[in-house]
Chain A
Amino acid sequence: MTVNPNAKIPETLEGTTVYSTDPLIIRSHYEIDYMHSYAQDSEFFRALGQKKIMGSKCKKCGYKYATPRAHCMFCGSETEWFQLPNEGMVHTFTTCYFGSEEFLKDTPFHLIMVEFDGVDSLFMARLVGVSAEDLMIGMKVKAKFKRNQKFSATDVYFVPVKE
């Protein structure tokens, strides 16, 4: 048994950032890396590298989702992958002049929901190559793919189609 009444916790010279003393407000830092698995949706992200957007088609009821979904939300059956067209139409849009901290550097950016012919649901994406004043519902758009794939849903984005 060791008993040492003179034991000390070692001290360091790092300080604490203090924003206010009354009340006492200090800086508290927090950060984390995840090992995020795309699991059953992995194929969608891999396919973007081959310039393909993959949707999900229900094997039983035939509903076509423009987003990955391993099981149909209407009938519960398994879905299969199908390739979405690379061209679609703006179903709705906005231009974000502010955003979450992570995306503030991207502002202003256009956000659209894409409607594909013969597909039952929509697809959310960024749009570039058009000014805010010219952006409208019904505008034809086509997919472009990043060459340096980041394995993010933003590996695909849209540009207007010249008519």
Chain B
Amino acid sequence: MSSKGQDVYMVTGGVTKFSKANTRKDFRYLVKEAFDYALNDVHMTTADIDGSVTAYFSDHFQRQAMAGIMAHEYVGLSPKPSKRIEAGGSTGGMGFQTGIEEVASGRMDSCAVMGFETMSHVETWKGNEFIALASDMNFDYPVGGFYTGYYAMMAVRHMYEFGTTVEQFAKVSVKNHGNAIHNSYSQSPMRLTVEDVRNSPMVSYPLTRLDSCTMSDGAAVAILANEKKAFELSDHPVLIKGVGGGTDSMRLSDRPFSKVPLLPNEKESDYANLKYPGVHSFRAGRVAAIEAYKAAGIMDPLEELDVVELHDSFTSSEIQTYEDLGLAKYGEGGLYVEEGKADVHGIVPVNTSGGLLASGHAIGASGIMQAVFTFWQLQHSIKKHLKDDALQVPNAKLGLTHCHAGTGTTVAVTVMEATK
């Protein structure tokens, strides 16, 4: 093979509005809408694209296998190559990284990454069953069979280990739903109080309805290219600075009680008495961050990162993830949100889009939606795309996306950097 490794840039992106049910457009139409938005933004055509990666989680939701190729064909990319990526909740983030690899390997000059999910074809509780199929079918599904329950047990242990409070969880919900008020693509913009979150129906103690993300119909598209192509198409593409991945056992019960894998700015003595990850933390997220930071040359994430979109399927997992990413030390995640450090004008703003909690979670699209939103932040083009610049992080230069599956079973972390 004559291909050589090359740098990869994100050139453009598009998302559809996420909604509880979009029955007038099927998955192909939704992808086409996001795809056309992305292409029109830089005046490119399908002739500029060498192939695609498609990302969707479950064949069950629309009872259609090979839906990825159907979307690829629908947007006019056949007979070019395409492959489908599935990685549970991190399907979108993993698809994005696979697109990066298609270009980085030198195989393609440009690659479209297209994610989607149309979850409205079944009732919410059947949807929860489909999602729970992504837990061990012999030992976890028959006992719990409910992801909110699995996350709730992690949240309870986090509270026990570190003194994290339900009010701190609620503050994540208040922040993310509030941000979504300025994101016209979001599903659940809401001005909430901590009391609203605590008073909403309890789903799985301590997580209430407003501590949990929703199911959604939606699509998101990102176009990636090598340096030559990227600067032909755009005067400010965004550099993919580093990728990272991590995994853990599918069964929460099998996680070890060992030592914390350290970030460059941490010492072993910081966590002398912490048994890790147990069920309080996501080791996969930590390992993914370490790999991505190494590739991107990040020594102190809190100092160097400007904006983060992370996988907040539940408020508790946002707090747990602050710690995995090193925005806060293990045990101090609750304070990070409480002290306003995750706000749009905080230290490192987290989920300015509204996150999955408020933007919606159209599984295969979510990780790509995060990438598109981060791309807009780094291009300083939030106002252009949302007709509102309240969410724009001034001078954002370095961004990170974090996409997560299972109870932290596989995680994709990607670092992106503005080129001007």
Residues of A within 8 A of B (CB): 20, 23, 25, 28, 30, 36, 38, 41, 65-69, 73, 91-104, 111-113, 120-126, 132, 137, 152-154
Contact = CB atoms under 8 A, between A and B. Distances in A.
A96 B149 contact: yes
A153 B254 contact: no
A111 B149 contact: yes
Contacts of A100: 125-126, 128-129, 131-132, 145-146
Nearest to A65: B254
B340 to A, nearest CB: 29
B251 A124 contact: yes
A53 to B, nearest CB: 11
A66 B252 CA distance: 12
A66 B140 CA distance: 13
Contacts of A103: 144-146
A137 to B, nearest CB: 5
B314 to A, nearest CB: 12
Given A23-B24, A102-B145, A92 B157 contact: yes
B138 interface: yes
Interface in B178-207: 201-206
Contacts, number: 128
A36 to B, nearest CB: 8
Contacts of B148: 96, 98
Contacts of B131: 100
9 contacts: A69-B254, A94-B155, A96-B148, A98-B203, A101-B123, A101-B128, A104-B125, A113-B153, A120-B257
Contacts of A125: 143
A67 B253 contact: yes
A71 B185 CA distance: 47
Nearest to B209: A98
Given A73-B249, A120-B257, A123-B253, A67 B143 contact: no
Nearest to A45: B138
B157 A137 contact: yes
A4 B125 CA distance: 50
Given A91-B279, A93-B153, A73 B143 contact: no
B142 interface: yes
B23 A25 contact: yes
A141 to B, nearest CB: 14
For the residues of A in contact with B, the DSSP-based class is mixed
B139 interface: yes
B156 interface: yes
A112 B144 CA distance: 9
Interface residues of B, number: 43
B43 interface: no
Given A67-B251, A100-B125, A95 B145 contact: no
Given A95-B204, A100-B132, 12 more contacts: A92-B153, A93-B156, A94-B155, A96-B146, A98-B125, A103-B145, A121-B254, A121-B256, A122-B253, A124-B251, A126-B143, A153-B142
Contacts of A104: 125
B64 to A, nearest CB: 11
Given A92-B279, A111-B143, A153-B138, A99 B125 contact: yes
A113 to B, nearest CB: 6
Contact of A137 (B152, B160, B204, B251): B160
Contacts of B63: 28, 30
Given A73-B249, A94-B153, A111-B149, A152 B125 contact: no
Nearest to B63: A30
Interface string B141-183: 0111110110011111100100000000000000000000000
B255 interface: yes
A101 B145 CA distance: 9
Given A20-B23, A102-B145, A152-B142, A97 B253 contact: no
Contacts of A36: 137
A121 to B, nearest CB: 5
Interface string B110-144: 00000000000001011011011000011110111
